[in-house]
Structure 1
Amino acid sequence: MKTLGKKIRLLRHQKSWSQEDVAKQLEISIPAFSKIETGITDINLSRLEQISKLFEMTVVQLLTFNDKEGQESYNTEVDSLTLKLHEREMELIDLQKKIIELYEELRAFRK
């Protein structure tokens, strides 16, 4: 069941949902959902159906979900977000430079 739990966690991450979000939708506690993801708790068929509907999949799709495909999608998303973060950091550095330049102009103007 650990593999299924990893698949569920990967799907949850792809949707950017927290454990709390999923637990609420399943109407279970966060610790109970955490035990599903970690494979501590075996999932009965009705819970499996509930989880598959939540992720808009059939039970068969959920059980046969390819970890590598999901991981590649997850990695692509992480790479994209990392690039956006780098771009924002560069924008921030440029703005900081402009503030320093304006401050120095203001100081020179006051003298």
Structure 2
Amino acid sequence: MNGIGLFGIITVCSTLAVFIVCIALYCRIQTKRHFKCPRCGARFKVAGMRTFFASRQGTDRLLSCPQCGMSCYMENIPDEEYTEEVRRADGQRRREEEEGK
């Protein structure tokens, strides 16, 4: 095998390795995100590869809600924002309970 053929094989293998690493990192990032259904408000997570191949519109993905079955573009939300929203709602609920007593 000459030098050009070997260089071609190395290039293809390197490109493929970089592509696989990028997909793996994307799937890892998607495990830290969830989606919110605009119809019923359900929040759910989806496998990373499913979101990789889903149709996109900005950061939204075309998915089906597991709760109500609606298929539309759903908001992609980081888990940190969701946990902060839950904390605020819990704090508000506690204040309301304390005021009611």
The TM-score, its normalising length taken from structure 1, stands at 0.35
Bigger helix share: 1
User: Larger relative CO (CA 8 A, sep 6+): 1 or 2?
Assistant: 1
Bigger strand share: 2
Which has more radius of gyration? 1
